[in-house]
Amino acid sequence: MKGLAIGLCAMQLAASAVAGTPGEIAVGGQLPEAQLNALVGSAAKLSSLRGKPLLINVWASWCGPCRAEMGSIERLYQRYGKQGFNVIGISTDDDHAAAARFVKVSGVSFANYIDRNLVLENLLGADRLPLTVLVDDEGRVIKKMTGSRQWDSPESINLVTQAFRLKTR
């Protein structure tokens, strides 16, 4: 009987571990329309980014791993962005000024938006930060990765160039 109870608990834990955030778009799913509120500059609609592959990085200014990877995302964008893919950052900060300061200090040139109401965070399933989502040119999610990485490393460049069918150089 004890073994059965342990087994049922283990199954419940395993099921909850694979269950996503309610309303989360799974890999293979289509990104819905959403408003992007700019940290600096103009607001945009998520649908305005269709037509090119898209790398979405969900971050927060207080998140050490998020801060650590931002420079490598910028270098990846500088190296391959002209080949036809977009990069955007989405801050989950409550403090707009802190997020804007971080973007300014980090020197990134790609557009960054803020998601104070956590709508995009929930849609993308960002229960841990940073979260990076690769989206194809038709708006379908093709890959999700949590945790920091060096986006200009050979492994990450290979991942992005294959996912987006870019020419390596």
Q: At 169, is the pLDDT very low, low, confident or very high (cuts 50, 70, 90)? A: low
In this structure, what CATH number is given to the domain that contains residue 35? Answer: 3.40.30.10
Inside any domain, residue 57: yes
> What's the rounded Cα separation, in Å, for the pair 70 and 63?
11
Lowest-pLDDT choice from 8-12, 33-37, 61-65, 91-95:
8-12
Task: Please name the residue ranges forming H helices in 38-140.
Answer: 64-80, 96-106, 119-124
pTM for the whole structure: 0.85
The verdict on residue 10 lying in a domain is: no
Write down the pLDDT at residue 110. Answer: 95
C-alpha 97, offset from chain centre: 21
pLDDT at 11 over 90: no
pLDDT (tens digit per residue) in 120-140: 889 999 999 999 999 999 999
pLDDT of residue 81: 86
Q: What number of other Cβ atoms are within 10 A of residue 37's Cβ?
A: 18
Query: How long, in residues, is the chain?
Result: 169
- Both tokens of 53, joined, read 């592959």
pLDDT value at residue 10: 38
Percentage of the residues of the chain whose pLDDT score is greater than 70: 86
CB distance 142 to 148 below 8 Å: no
User: Is 138 a domain residue?
Assistant: yes
Report yes or no on 16 lying in a domain: no
Element (H, E) at 87: strand 86-91
Does residue 145 sit within a domain? yes
For 133, phi then psi, to 5°, come to -120, 130
The total domain count for the chain is: 1
